[in-house]
Structure 1
Amino acid sequence: MDVATPVERDRAVDALRAFAILGVVLGHWLVTALVADGGTLRTASPLQHMPWLAPISWVFQPLAVFFLVGGHVATRGHASARSRGTAYRHWLAARLSRLFRPVAAVATLWTVAAVALLLAGAEFETVRALVKLALSPMWFLVVFAALTAATPLLARLNPLWPLAVVLHVDLLRFGLGGPSWLGWVNVAAGWLMPYTLGAAWTRGELDRRRAAWTLLVGGAAATAALVAWAGYPASMVGVPGAAVSNLNPPTLAAVTFGLAQCGLALLLRDRLRHAMRRPSAWAVVAFVNLSAMTIFLWHQTALMATTATGLLAGHLPGLHTRPDDLTWVAARLAWLPVFVLALAVCWTAFRHHEQGGHRRAARPGPRGSRSRSRVVRVQRAPGGERSPGARRV
């Protein structure tokens, strides 16, 4: 895989995407609890009972980095497609097909599972909680797809514009008592900010370390000020029962925190490129990129499958109990390898929906020649670009 990767490929981009995907997965596994209460499963979070664990969410909520990479790759890919004379509709179809092909399998399985559970007499609230957890990652794909489709219009947009929109929306909502539905404007504007930062990266406007340091320090300082003096939650993920969520919809604090994350990601590019020279490290990153959507879409199902299976043995600590003390945290950490195993089963069963493609049969060379020409399947990474570790031979 290391040898087959084109020399010109920026491996730091793939490493950042892999870290973002794995960060989301680990974050969900660490802060999502399904508490067995009688015959009902309900969602809970250790952040609800132990708010001092909020810094965990600062590490495992890296969505801004994913949108940064997405904006960078899409802008670069669209420019390359235009230079080759590729029509916009063909470029967009190639990018979106990789995102949405795996969705059909998840939606179909959970539709069948929800109907079967209800017919078997399961509590409606239990089924609702399970389906909501399983399908919640899809909101991200809808937003990402919309921004991807608008890439030609966004390629030169200054990131300060979406930041200004988020600022004014929050001012109206929280400062002037405006309607709460205004917050949903930030679903587009909030994630547009790191996406347009990715476009600025493509244009070479963020190549200087000064720009990255400005994003990191300025974003961190603004976030600290908003949490300390403006009443924003310290947690960067949603907490059940909380009056305000920084993520649903995104708040100004989530967006400034994303600025800091993007600055840190840009500062780490050179170190990541150096680290990715190691074939073993690159193999892991390449594997995650090739399976990114499968991992992302099925990780909650792996969590719930483990939880449901564990009920056969009773209420197990860290799996069905209230997440209200450090004992639960220690038990949940011990369950992580089991979640990984369950996700591996899901990956084995459903990866072909993402890694579609057919190996073409070998064709003999000229008569009398021992040579054989072969074509190695060319897969596509989540953004639609040629995947790491795949080239024509």
Structure 2
Amino acid sequence: MGGAKEQGPDPYAGPAGGRDEVLDLVRFSCLALVVMGHTMMVSPVLHADGTVTSENTLGNQDWFEPVIWVFMVMPLFFVAGGATGLQSWQRLRCQGGTAADFLHARLLRLVRPAAVLLADMFLGFWMAGRLGVHPQVVQLMAAGAAMPLWFLAAYLAAQLAIPVLAAFHARGPWLAIGSLTALVVAVDCLRATLPLLAYANLVFLWCAVQQLGFLAADGRFARISRSRLLALVLTAHLLLGLLTALGLYPVNMLVNLNPPNLTLFLLGVSQVALLELARPALAPLCSLGWVRTVLRVAGGRSLTVYLWHLPLLAGMSGLLLLTPVPMPASGSAEWW
């Protein structure tokens, strides 16, 4: 832009303005953690009267609350999505594309896989009902299989807002992120009296976290010293500790996820700083041939894996209940 100082190569741009392989590696790792975590949460229980319930085994463990502070990677998804989304929008504008072109491409990319999933789920559950499967079992499986769609809806809303938020960011990056964060806090303050309003943070919160990705794409975190990045991580976690110790927010980050609140923004601040601290170690790893192959293959199918892993787990769990395989108590040593 005219009048702007030259800042050197953008560490988030990747080679020759291409994909940033470090972000691809981070997103792949986050996806693997999410899938692994969900496999340890699904625990169907068949009762004597024929009804089925599902227990969140991992979430019921006493040791899980502090662990989820480390492994709650959803903010990192939106940070990475913000960095790559902003770069995609900027490249499209340089090629003469419009906001309508960007929105059309994003809609096709995210909505088509979801439409296939919904069509298959509708057909599968209709057939299950026709075959005599108990409606309560069908309802339970439908609720579990559809769970990934909340993330897709929130991610789609944040991505579709990129042209507007990018313009806001260009005029005043700190004002943009500050305004969104203020909206998050305002919603959090009113959620006790207006519970439904809390769901507005599905947009405000994730757009605020996405703005952290915009800042990263600008190279702003890359220009911060390592000691200050570490201080940023510690400060974010101290604020998290203070807010939860005062009882303003739950300690359990899974509870804070739905509907989302300020704690996830603070986690996002910590995670984007940690990403920058880890970049020198991750970049050489991404240059390995087998890592590039995994990222290329997995990256092209990441949305498919995310959308289908819970329906697959729900289906496998349902089939397991039809077999004589012993079902140990949820969370017991035999279960693990």
The answer on whether the counterparts of 1:47 and 1:54 sit within 8 Å (CA) in structure 2 is no
> How many pairs are equivalent?
312
Equivalent runs, 1:60-79 vs 2, <5 Å:
60-79=71-90
Q: What's the TM-score once normalised by structure 1's chain length?
A: 0.73
1:15 partnered with 2:21: no
Query: What amino acid does structure 2 have at the position aligned with 1:312?
Result: L
1:194 partnered with 2:209: yes
Change (3 A) 1:279 1:56: same
How much has 1:179 moved relative to structure 2? 1.9
Structure 1 residue aligned with 2:56: 45
Q: For 1:19 and 1:48, locate their aligned partners in 2 and report how far apart those are by CA, in whole Å.
A: 21
* Displaced runs of 4 or more, over 6 A: none
Q: 67, 73, 93: which is aligned to 2:104?
A: 93
Matched residue of 1:246: which SS?
helix
Q: For 1:212 and 1:194, locate their aligned partners in 2 and report how far apart those are by CA, in whole Å.
A: 17
How much has 1:109 moved relative to structure 2? 1.2
How much has 1:326 moved relative to structure 2? 4.1
Matched residue of 2:63: which SS?
helix
How much has 1:48 moved relative to structure 2? 5.1
Q: For 2:31 and 2:162, locate their aligned partners in 1 and report how far apart those are by CA, in whole Å.
A: 22
Q: 134, 140, 152: which is aligned to 1:141?
A: 152
The answer on whether the counterparts of 2:249 and 2:256 sit within 8 Å (CA) in structure 1 is yes
Provide Cα deviations, 1:262-319, integer angstroms capped at 9, x if missing partner: 22223222221111111112222222211101100110122122212222323534xx
Q: For 1:298 and 1:100, locate their aligned partners in 2 and report how far apart those are by CA, in whole Å.
A: 14
Query: What amino acid does structure 2 have at the position aligned with 1:63?
Result: M
Structure 1 residue aligned with 2:330: 323
Query: What amino acid does structure 2 have at the position aligned with 1:12?
Result: V
Provide Cα deviations, 1:316-357, integer angstroms capped at 9, x if missing partner: 34xxx44243442x2xxxxxxxxxxxxxxxxxxxxxxxxxxx
How much has 1:12 moved relative to structure 2? 0.6
Q: For 1:86 and 1:49, locate their aligned partners in 2 and report how far apart those are by CA, in whole Å.
A: 49
1:310 partnered with 2:323: no
1:160 partnered with 2:170: no
Q: Percent identity?
A: 27
* Greater share of helix: 2
Residue ranges of structure 1 left out of the alignment (5+ in a row): 238-244, 331-393
Equivalent runs, 1:1-393 vs 2, <5 Å:
8-38=18-48, 39-47=50-58, 49-155=60-166, 156=169, 157=173, 158-173=176-191, 177-210=192-225, 212-230=229-247, 232-237=249-254, 245-314=255-324, 316-317=326-327, 321-328=328-335, 330=336
Q: For 1:59 and 1:314, locate their aligned partners in 2 and report how far apart those are by CA, in whole Å.
A: 38
Q: For 2:279 and 2:107, locate their aligned partners in 1 and report how far apart those are by CA, in whole Å.
A: 26
The answer on whether the counterparts of 1:67 and 1:144 sit within 8 Å (CA) in structure 2 is yes
Residue ranges of structure 2 left out of the alignment (5+ in a row): 1-13
Structure 2 residue aligned with 1:359: none
Query: What amino acid does structure 2 have at the position aligned with 1:122?
Result: V
Structure 2 residue aligned with 1:362: none
How much has 1:232 moved relative to structure 2? 2.9
Query: What amino acid does structure 1 have at the position aligned with 2:235?
Result: G
How much has 1:213 moved relative to structure 2? 3.1
Query: What amino acid does structure 1 have at the position aligned with 2:223?
Result: R
How much has 1:162 moved relative to structure 2? 2.1
Q: CA RMSD of the aligned region, Å?
A: 2.2
The answer on whether the counterparts of 1:219 and 1:259 sit within 8 Å (CA) in structure 2 is yes
Q: For 1:35 and 1:57, locate their aligned partners in 2 and report how far apart those are by CA, in whole Å.
A: 25
Change (3 A) 1:313 1:40: same
Q: Identify the range of structure 1 (260-269 vs 206-215) with the bigger mean alpha-carbon deviation.
A: 206-215
Q: Identify the range of structure 1 (306-315 vs 12-21) with the bigger mean alpha-carbon deviation.
A: 306-315
